[in-house]
Chains A and B, each alone.
Chain A
Amino acid sequence: MSYSWHSVFDAELIKENPSRVTFVLEPQGGVVKLTVTHGGFAEGSKTLPSISFGWPMVLSSLKSILETGHGLAIDRPLIATTEAVHAQA
């Protein structure tokens, strides 16, 4: 599965060209391996650091909900704070 991605929540990110996310699901022994590739960013893209911060949390939470029935309890204020720090870096 593949879709284009355009971050529209931020005045700067919305100016960037859309990127592309691809999900590949493969059997690996008795389990399923999910590979997410997000590419097609222009040099100096600010969407790239944003999604690099976001995907690990989302995918970690996805694995938790699939295996335990509960997503990760990631605090929203914490996300906002960490994201702001991340954006400055």
Chain B
Amino acid sequence: MSPTSRPRRKKHWHALTDGNFTERYWFGARLRSDWKVGSAFEMVRSDGTVSDAGKVVECDPPRRLAYTFVNLSDKYRNEFPALATFVLEPHGKLVKLTLTHEGFGAGSKMLPAISKGWPAILSSLKSILETGQPLEIPFAALGMD
């Protein structure tokens, strides 16, 4: 790994773990956790209520972050908490972010929902890191039920 890749990944790591920052590009969601393995992980709406909750499974800054979560609305709350894993790798002078979200139960309603949500969130993340501005995607435009 080249010495210059470290600060760059730190910036990405911050973008994935700092609630004040996630609020700007993640449909207003503030991520809340102390990021210790086994600790609670929550997505907090602007009104302070928790929309999604789970646990930190892996935390190895600035390389790997993994947590489980379920959405707490009636439609999804009884689903198995699937695992989201973020991997940050140096790619020349760039950083490659790979997100894997797996472990959904058969017939999961969460899987089609996150399949619409993640591309929008990750695209907005790339925009804010490169331009300083997130994407203005209204949540309703994702076409979720």
Contact = CB atoms under 8 A, between A and B. Distances in A.
Contact of A73 (B93, B131, B135, B141): B93
Nearest to B130: A68
A72 interface: yes
A82 B94 CA distance: 14
Nearest to A82: B91
B137 interface: yes
B94 A73 contact: yes
A78 B92 contact: yes
A67 interface: yes
Nearest to B136: A30
Interface string B117-145: 00110010011001100011110111000
Interface of B: 91-94, 119-120, 123, 126-127, 130-131, 135-138, 140-142
Majority secondary structure, B binding face: helix
A74 B135 contact: no
Contact of B130 (A29, A30, A67, A82): A67
Contacts of A63: 123, 126-127
A31 interface: yes
A43 interface: no
Interface residues of A, number: 16
Nearest to A74: B92
A63 B124 CA distance: 11
Interface in A48-89: 60, 63-64, 67-68, 72-75, 78, 82
Nearest to B93: A73
Contacts of B93: 73, 75
Contact of B131 (A30, A67, A72, A74): A67
A74 B123 contact: no
Given A63-B123, A64-B130, A67-B131, A31 B136 contact: yes
A62 B130 CA distance: 13
Contacts of A28: 120, 137, 141-142
Contacts of B136: 29-31
